[in-house]
Amino acid sequence: MERAKIFPHNLGEGKLAGAKEIDINYWLGCANEIINNNDKAIEYWKMASEGDYEPSIAMYYNDQKPDNIFYQGLALRKLGEIEKADQLFKTLCDYGKNHINDHVEIDYFAVSLPDLQIWEEDLNKVNRLHCEYLIALGYLGQGKRVH
């Protein structure tokens, strides 16, 4: 699992500056918990719990990804910070519900788009799907079923 943090040389790419490996750190914590290496597990969960807790539209490379916030919440729960974790999951739901009907436009001169979105994507549909995903992650983190 540690090797998941290293980009292969033949990829010809590196990590984005400031890349948080929240999901990897969360799962490394879980793996260490399984082998009773609790100090190391806590170290990884602390790393996984760090970062920006605010969801965003996630249109640009450097925007916070909703999965990161979800894994931050799971890490906080592992660290015993249940209220803080539940607040993160609620934040995901609230953001999704409050922004699901936003009208989204793009800056056509943006150089940090993750996809070639400027030609064919219905950005409002992409936003709705993104918001539904945020809501689902929030409910999942709270242990609620999504219908």
CB 101 within 8 A of CB 132: no
Q: What is the pLDDT of residues 86-121, one digit of tens each?
A: 999 999 999 999 989 988 776 555 554 555 545 566
Q: What is the pLDDT of residues 66-76, one digit of tens each?
A: 889 999 999 99
- Enumerate the domain spans of the chain: 2-141
Between 4 and 98, residue with greater pLDDT: 98
Q: What mean pLDDT is reported for the chain?
A: 83
Residue partners of 130: CB distance under 8 A and separation at least 6: 57, 58, 66, 96
Tell me, rounded to whole angstroms, the distance of Cα 66 from its chain centroid: 3
**Cα separation, 26 vs 60, whole angstroms:** 24
**Per the structure block, which two tokens stand in for 93?**
């739901």
**The total number of residues written for the chain in this structure:** 147
Closest CA to 55 of 100, 105, 94: 94
Q: What is the pLDDT of residues 51-88, one digit of tens each?
A: 877 777 655 555 667 889 999 999 999 999 999 999 99
**Cα separation, 53 vs 66, whole angstroms:** 9
